[in-house]
């Protein structure tokens, strides 16, 4: 019985070590992997203008945005979901892409699309939006979304 227990523990440790060794450090230039998710992320967004949270997201979405006819603009400090009062606020969604993990031929790309909204009669505003995770697989010399792992609104 003790021998079986030791074998089980050894097997579990070996699996954990193999998983740890298979994961690579995140690349210094994740843009090709992030760019693979570009068309899928833009498909969830409507409109002709999209605010990007950072320059890496902007570069990663550039080709997909060009194909879709979407103009990318660096996000100001606050982007609102709507501006019923016509006060001149920035209106739209702020999109951010982030490489979460990378294995040999597979990566997880997390994306968010958010904007600010004043809820009820409160003067306090809150961020609302969507987020998701795409699995991206190496395909020849490039990368391609293989499936959506998660998608939810908040």
pLDDT at 21: 45
- Which stretches in the chain have pLDDT values below 70? 1-28, 121-122
pLDDT at 25: 58
The ranges assigned to domains in the chain are 25-153
pLDDT at 45: 84
Is 112 within 8 Å of 130 (Cβ atoms)? yes
pLDDT at 2: 47
pLDDT at 137: 96
């Amino acid at each position: 019985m003790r021998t079986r227990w030791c074998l089980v523990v050894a097997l579990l440790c070996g699996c954990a070590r193999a998983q740890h060794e298979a994961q690579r450090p995140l690349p210094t230039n994740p843009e090709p992997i992030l760019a693979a998710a570009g068309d899928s992320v833009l498909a969830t967004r409507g409109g002709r203008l999209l605010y990007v949270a950072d320059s890496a997201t902007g570069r990663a979405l550039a080709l997909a945005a060009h194909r879709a006819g979407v103009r990318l603009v660096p996000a100001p400090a606050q982007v609102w979901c709507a501006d019923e009062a016509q006060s001149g606020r920035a209106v739209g969604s702020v999109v951010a892409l982030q490489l979460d993990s990378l294995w040999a031929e597979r990566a997880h790309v997390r994306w968010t699309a958010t904007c600010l909204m004043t809820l009820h009669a409160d003067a306090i505003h809150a961020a609302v939006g969507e987020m998701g995770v795409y699995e991206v697989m190496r395909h020849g010399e490039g990368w391609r979304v293989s499936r959506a792992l998660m998608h939810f609104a908040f």
